[in-house]
Amino acid sequence: MEEQMARRLVAAEGKKLQQAGLVARTWGNISCRIDENHFVITPSGLDYETMTARDLVLMDIRNGVCCGAHKPSSEKGVHLAAYQTFPEVGYVIHTHQTYATAIGLCGFEQLAMTEEEAEKLGGIARAAYGLSSTEKLAGAVYDAMQSGAKVVFMVHHGVLICGKDREEAFSRAMLLEEICKRSILGQPKKKPRKDQKRQEKLFHVLQKHFHYVGICDTPAVLLCAASGRGIPAQVDDMAQMIGRKIPCCLHVRRDMLGLLRKYGAVLVPRVGVVVSAGTADDVEALKALVAKAAVCCLHVRATGASATLSPVNVAIQHYHYVKKYALQKDGEA
């Protein structure tokens, strides 16, 4: 494929993936093969709304050398693994889609899918865990692909999806999410009870103490809040932006302000999750993260598995996010 065409395809695809709920903010990444030895990939730290074809980074499949005005995505290693493994693959998407991420935590053996759907996905595998952006993660994905799988669950992280072209990769991502949504466990059958007056009153009070505050009240979030238990960090993006847990506040008047200042996200029964951040954009990002974290938490509880990230891995990722990506997002690094 001609390089400029590949650049335009990838730049446009980012917005399409956002609209479909497969990626958010600067999370996730996309690449397109140009020829036998090269591909273009989304840059690190640029959101899909402002990204242009010119911002993409050219990479050499043989040695990983890159060329461009920006640094390539920090997950360039998993894209390299895909192109090095499959000569026929022309397009790769790394998503953070909600239901597939949740399924990946506990294994995909019980997916409710037909033989035709399995064939369309091109094979499924599950890569062992490695910290985001590390050689360990890239190596784990490479090993998983040796089975021939074009869809790889990245435990605690997301999914890598390969296709011969953009259409096949995108359709596989959408099909996978549909299959995972019908296979997910532990989700509420109907929306749990919410106290609208309590929610509005709490929001009004918190606005006096925080510049930017928001509330997420999806069914999964409300069910987690009703349980009175916190949500542990089970997915990398939650660990990065929030930390080791989303606590549950049972005594709002006594504990709410302190918990919200410490964690930035707090469960409240019959309200949902209250979030606070430094910008309105960060508030929306937190709401998306906690919505996914709640789905993941309920699925893990229903399976009886253990999928909590280690305190060390959480601490490393949270520090990395605060010191690097948050500054980069604000244009300071």
DSSP 47-107: -TTT--GGG-EEEETTT--EESSSPBPTTHHHHHHHHHH-TT--EEEEE--HHHHHHHHH-
Angle between helices 196-207 and 252-263 (to 10 degrees): 60
* 186, part of any domain: no
Question: Among the residues of the chain, which ranges form H helices?
Answer: 3-19, 76-85, 98-106, 115-121, 135-145, 166-183, 196-207, 219-227, 236-241, 252-263, 280-303, 311-320, 326-329
- One DSSP character per residue, 211-235 reads SEEEEE--HHHHHHHHHT--EE--S
End of a domain among 156, 181, 206?
A: 181
Is the same domain home to 175 and 210?
A: no
Reduce the DSSP state of residue 3 to 3 states and report it: helix
The full length of the chain comes to 333
- The CATH number given to whatever domain includes residue 256 is 3.40.225.10
> CA 21, CA 2: separation in Å to the nearest integer?
29
Q: Are residues 129 and 277 in the same domain?
A: no
Token readout for 3 is: 């390089």
pLDDT digits (tens, 9 = 90+) for 51-78: 999 999 999 999 999 988 899 999 999 9
pLDDT tens digits, residue range 73-105? 999 999 999 999 999 999 999 999 999 999 999
Domain that holds residue 235: 196-329
Confidence category of residue 325, pLDDT binned at 50, 70, 90: low
Task: Return the closest-CA partner of residue 249 out of 261, 240, 234.
Answer: 261
Is 302 a member of any domain? yes
Same domain, 141 and 15: yes
Task: Look at residue 190 and tell me if it is in a domain.
Answer: no
Question: Is residue 20 located within the same domain as residue 72?
Answer: yes
Q: What is the DSSP letter of 164?
A: S
Pair 39, 170 in one domain: yes
pLDDT at 43 over 50: yes
**Distance, CA of 160 to CA of 83 (rounded, Å):** 12
Structure token digits, residue 119: 């064939």
Tell me: do 71 and 135 sit in the same domain.
Answer: yes
Beta bridge partners of 274: 215, 266
User: Is 19 in the same domain as 124?
Assistant: yes
* 150 in the same domain as 71: yes
Helix (H, G, I), strand (E, B) or coil at 115: helix
Q: Which residues contact 100 (CB under 8 A, 6 or more apart)?
A: 153, 158, 159, 176, 177, 180
Number of domains in the chain: 2
207 domain residue, yes or no: yes
- Report residue 128 as tokens: 């062992």
Residue 142 falls inside a structural domain: yes
CA distances (Å), 15 to each of 11, 29, 173, 238, in order?
8, 11, 15, 22
Give a yes or no: residue 160 inside a domain. Answer: yes
Bridge partners of residue 159, in order along the sequence:
95, 153
- Of 11-25, 74-88, 121-135, the one with minimum mean pLDDT is 11-25
Instruction: Specify if 189 maps to a domain.
Output: no
Distance (Å, rounded) from C-alpha 22 to C-alpha 257? 33
Q: Could you tell me if 220 and 295 are in contact, meaning their C-beta atoms sit under 8 angstroms apart?
A: yes
Q: What is the pLDDT of residues 224-247, one digit of tens each?
A: 999 999 999 999 999 999 999 999
Residue % of the chain over a pLDDT of 90: 85
Identify whether residues 114 and 177 lie together within a single domain. yes
pTM more than 0.85: yes
112 Ramachandran zone, left/alpha/beta (phi>0; psi -120 to 50): beta
Residue pair 177/292 in contact by the 8 Å Cβ criterion: no
User: Which range is least confidently modeled, 14-23, 120-129, 190-199?
Assistant: 14-23
Q: What is the pLDDT of residue 320?
A: 86
Q: Are residues 18 and 157 in the same domain?
A: yes
Tell me: do 127 and 265 sit in the same domain: no
